[in-house]
Amino acid sequence: MNSKSAKPETCQVAIFNEPNQTLEIRHEAIPVITNDELLVRVNACTICGSDLHTITGKRKEDTPTILGHEIIGDVEAIGSTPRFDLKGTQIKKGDRLTWSICISCGHCDRCEESIPQKCGELKKIGHEQFEPVSGFLGGFAEYVLLPKTTAVYKIESDLEDEVLCPANCATATVVAACRQLRAITEKKVLIIGAGMLGLTATAYLKTHGATCVTVVEPDNKRREQAFEFGADEITADIQSLSGKFDAVLDFSGSSAAIEAAVQLLDIHGTFVLVGTVAPSPAISLDPEFLVRNLIQLVGVHNYRPDDLGAAMSFLEETASQFPFRELVEKSFKLVDINEAIDFALREKPIRVMVRP
């Protein structure tokens, strides 16, 4: 074996092995396109609350894995088949991209029923087991290898990575949640939880014509941020609310808050449940209240590719009106990811960024 072929080029990855342990920084061979994937070089990845849930053992993943799904990257190499983005633009080397967290097969019953986010063969970015050379699906790494069915979006604006990283998680999920509402214009909406999703939803609803957005959030700093994202009314305590709402969106996952909020729905109201992504206490519901008031209860998990397209359009049109950039409080190098995670767990900023 000569020395030239013996050493493949390597790249840095941060591997999650088990909860409450530091991530392992490793050097692995750069992934290789074998099946029309897209090889993307990661520019930045923000740490999502769900990454922290996995790291602290609240959510289980097959290990070892590369976490991180809120990624912006540049196309490094393209398989033999031409690739097009959600707008129909052909992808070229060097294009700056975001992409859907949900990778669907496109042909199973669920995909054909327009719920590709629940595809029978669904893979999720930042949630799959790591495989050397072929299985690079997380953002806490220098490269990601996107399967050929991944819905991608070519970024043509010059918005910063700090604004765009959460687009394929929080923003697209907010679009999917708001798609469940019968109407937004001139409606009164209650948002529970002012994290990344609640703040984004506040801005989304206000720019789509909601008359009044009320936000419930126990944290002082996040309540102030909710004002900056357009909230009309903010409270720390849901019990202090007495008005009626046309819609409620829960991003908190708090069973107690959900139970209290159902009673606040007006006739023909819609309740969208988004935040409950871990086992939570059961709640009691009064079926007669739901029946007599024509209440609609909807669960939202993951999103469709078109939700990502709408999320990107929303950010491109409105990012200058809201302080999205400020939600990323600090940026770390990938090699210092364990410091970044400690900071995120300790200070609870809305987002922390990691860059290779």
- Closest contact distance (angstroms) between CB of 69 and Zn ion is 5
Q: CB neighbours of 3 closer than 8 A, spacing ≥ 6?
A: none
Q: What angle do CA 238, 319, 168 make, to 5 degrees?
A: 75
Among 23, 47, 103, 119, binds Zn ion (CB under 5 A): 119
CB of 239 to Zn ion, least distance (A): 30
For 3, the 3-state DSSP assignment is: helix
- DSSP letter for 340, please: H
Instruction: Assess 48 for contact with Zn ion (CB under 5 A).
Output: yes
Task: Name the segment binding Zn ion (CB under 5 A); options: 86-94, 169-177, 182-190, 286-294.
Answer: 169-177
Residue nearest Zn ion (C-beta atom): 48
Q: Does 344 interact with Zn ion (rule: CB under 5 A)?
A: no
Number of amino acids touching Zn ion (CB under 5 A): 7
**Shorter beta-carbon distance to Zn ion: residue 227 or 343:** 343
CB-based contacts of 189, cutoff 8 Å, min separation 6: 181, 205, 210, 212, 213, 214, 245, 246, 247, 248, 249
Nearest CB to Zn ion, comparing residues 30 and 105: 105
- Choose which of 39, 47, 111, 226 interacts with Zn ion (CB under 5 A): 111
Near Zn ion in 89-108, by CB under 5 A: 104-105, 108
CB 305 within 8 A of CB 151: yes
User: Which range binds Zn ion by CB under 5 A, 119-127, 180-188, 279-287, 322-330?
Assistant: 119-127
User: Which of the stretches 89-97, 133-141, 167-175, 294-302 binds Zn ion when contact is defined by CB under 5 A?
Assistant: 167-175
CA-closest candidate to residue 312, choices 83, 101, 98, 125? 98
Q: Could you tell me if 220 and 245 are in contact, meaning their C-beta atoms sit under 8 angstroms apart?
A: no
CB-CB neighbours of 162 under 10 Å: 19
Residues that bind Zn ion (CB under 5 A): 48, 104-105, 108, 111, 119, 169
